[in-house]
Amino acid sequence: MPASPAKQIGIWGNTEKPAFWDILPHITSWASENNIHLHLTTRIVENTTTDIAFDYNVIETADDFHKLDFLLALGGDGTILSAARAIGPRETPMLGIHLGTLGFLAEVTVQDMFTALDRVAKDDFIILERMVLKCIVNNGGESMEFYALNDITLDRGSSHRLINSTLYSNGNRVARYTADGLIISTPTGSTAYSLSAGGPIVMPDLDAIVVTPISPHTLTLRPIVIPDDSFLEITFPDNPTGGIALAVDGQVQETLDVDAVVNISKADYKTKMITFSDSNYFDVLSKKMGWGRRGE
């Protein structure tokens, strides 16, 4: 009986963390023992301080993700967010390994990593599809397009003034906000910045959009959850100056003029996250966020 073809696994890591370089040799040994062929990002190859003494391919373009059975993302939540944007619509499943401090998205710890990898190698896993936001910005005659797994944030940037913004959904005016800004999040992002600003927790397998104002100058404006088929438009009337800051997953930043128009909707693809049948979202909330616990 012929041997099964080697699985193709990519590694995306936070190369600034010493823990990444400590764990990499153990991953390569595991790959060798399990008929796994590794693909490394150019960042890993360029930043290594020692010779890489195993056979590998280099992920040089985004289309190289098509060659992978799954991508192993080693770091914190920021590492997973950047990997998700890099994969984009290519639908490569991703498994997050927590090397950071909170690691809410990366539910697998270093201690449990090889148990999880053994299960993935045996196809003992499930795929959780997570909604992605598409954001098109028209700013000063220039059009820009972004995608976010967590959130799109619009705030006052370096200004000390509140900003005025008006939100429309499917052409209908929702509200005018005078606040430090707005957070437009996915269910995945509902446990990130939106939660800190008072937004609700939304289960990651739901399709919905959460709009959370940041420090609104009123008691009447509260977070709202709207259907995933909504097309949102945000404008900034009556602001004396520009300098409005847009952030994508807290990692990509742009500065907007007062006449900018921001359009946000559900992307036509989802990010595929690897999880396991015995994984419990509420356990993760409790362990990592303290959800449901009484004060001690």
**DSSP H or E segment with residue 214:** strand 208-214
**pLDDT 10s digits, 19-46:** 999 999 999 999 988 889 999 999 999 9
Residue 1 pLDDT: 41
Which pLDDT value is given to residue 242? 72
DSSP assigned state of 5: P
Look at residue 2 and tell me whether its pLDDT is greater than 50: no
| Amino acid 100: pLDDT | 67
Q: Which of 77, 151, 155, 180 is catalytic?
A: 77
Cβ atoms of 152 and 264 closer than 8 Å: yes
Is 55 known to be catalytic?
Answer: no
Nearest to 261 by CA among 273, 244, 249: 244
- Judge whether residue 52 has pLDDT over 80: no
Interval 58-65 mean pLDDT = 94
What's the chain's average pLDDT?
90
Q: Do 135 and 150 form a contact (C-beta atoms < 8 A)?
A: no
Residue 44, CB-side half-sphere exposure with 13 Å CA sphere: 24
Burial of 261: CB neighbours in 10 Å, binned 0-12, 13-18, 19+: middle
* Residues 73-82 pLDDT 10s: 999 899 999 9
Q: Is the pLDDT of residue 238 over 90?
A: no
State both tokens at 96: 């997050």
DSSP strand pairing (208-214 vs 181-185):
antiparallel
The tens digit of pLDDT for each residue in 171-215 reads 999 999 999 999 999 999 999 999 999 999 999 989 999 999 999
Chain segment 87-123, per-residue pLDDT in tens: 999 989 999 998 866 678 887 888 889 999 999 988 8
User: Which residue blocks in the chain are alpha helix, DSSP H?
Assistant: 18-33, 42-47, 77-87, 113-121, 193-196, 281-289
| Strand pairing category for 208-214 and 261-275 | unpaired
pLDDT in tens, 128-158: 999 999 999 999 889 999 999 999 999 988 8
Q: What confidence score (pLDDT) does residue 131 get?
A: 97
CA dihedral 150, 84, 20, 24 (to 10 degrees): 150
In angstroms, the CA 165 to CA 183 distance is 12
Residue 287, pLDDT above cutoff 90: no
pLDDT, tens digit, 9 for 90 and up, residues 255-274:
999 999 999 999 999 999 99
Amino acid identity, position 149: L
